[in-house]
Amino acid sequence: MRAIVGNGLNYSACDAYRAEYLRAELTRQINRLLAPFDALVVPTSPTIRTLAEMAQEPVLFNSQFGTYTNFTNLADLSALALPAALRDDGLPAGITLIAPAWHDRALAAFGQRWQQRLGCRSALPGGRCLRSRR
C-alpha cells in the first residue's frame, strides 16, 4: 500500500489537473460510444488466481482483475456483476453489465431477470445446476 500511495509524490498539481481533463474527455467519448446501446456486457474478470498466487503478487493480480471494468468508476458509469456458467475447467465465471450513469435500477432489474432465467446460482458441467435454497 505504501508503494502505491507513495507514487503520488511523483506528480504535481498540474499533472493531476491534466489527468482530470483527460478523464473527463474520455468519459465523454465513452458515453458517445455507449449511447446507441442499452448496456455493454464484459467478463467480470480476465482470470482467476489462487490464494497462493495472490500472496506472491497482490498488487499486480488485483490490478488485472479490473481489466474490463475499472474504467466504469472513472467514467461514472453504472455496472452490475452477475454470475454466469462455470468455465470448462469448473471454475466460476461472471459477466458485468455496464450502462450510463444513474441506470442502476435498470441494471438491477435485468440482473434479477438474468438470475431467474439462469434458474440456479451457477451451472455445472453437463447442464446441472446448484439450485438456490430460496
Model pLDDT for residues 42-58, shown as the tens digit of each residue: 999 999 898 999 999 99
Spatial contact of 96 and 80, defined as CB atoms under 8 Å apart: yes
- Name the band, by pLDDT with cuts 50, 70 and 90, for residue 17: very high
Q: Are strands 129-130 and 94-99 parallel, antiparallel or unpaired?
A: unpaired
> What are the structural domain ranges in the chain?
37-130
Spatial contact of 112 and 82, defined as CB atoms under 8 Å apart: no
Spatial contact of 96 and 41, defined as CB atoms under 8 Å apart: yes
Computed over every residue of the chain, the mean pLDDT equals 87
pLDDT of residue 126: 54
Task: Look up cell 497462493; give the residue.
Answer: 52
First to last CA, the chain: 40
Spatial contact of 107 and 39, defined as CB atoms under 8 Å apart: yes
Selected residue with higher pLDDT from 126 and 13: 13
Would you say the pTM of this structure is higher than 0.85?
Answer: no
DSSP helix/strand/coil, 128: coil
What percentage of residues in the chain have a pLDDT greater than 70?
89
Q: What is the CA radius of gyration of the chain?
A: 18
pLDDT of residue 33: 96
- Name the band, by pLDDT with cuts 50, 70 and 90, for residue 3: confident
CA angle 66, 40, 26 (to 5 degrees): 65
Average pLDDT over residues 25-30: 97
Is residue 132's pLDDT more than 60?
A: no
pLDDT of residue 38: 92
Break the chain down into helix, strand, coil percent, rounded to 5.
Answer: 50, 15, 35
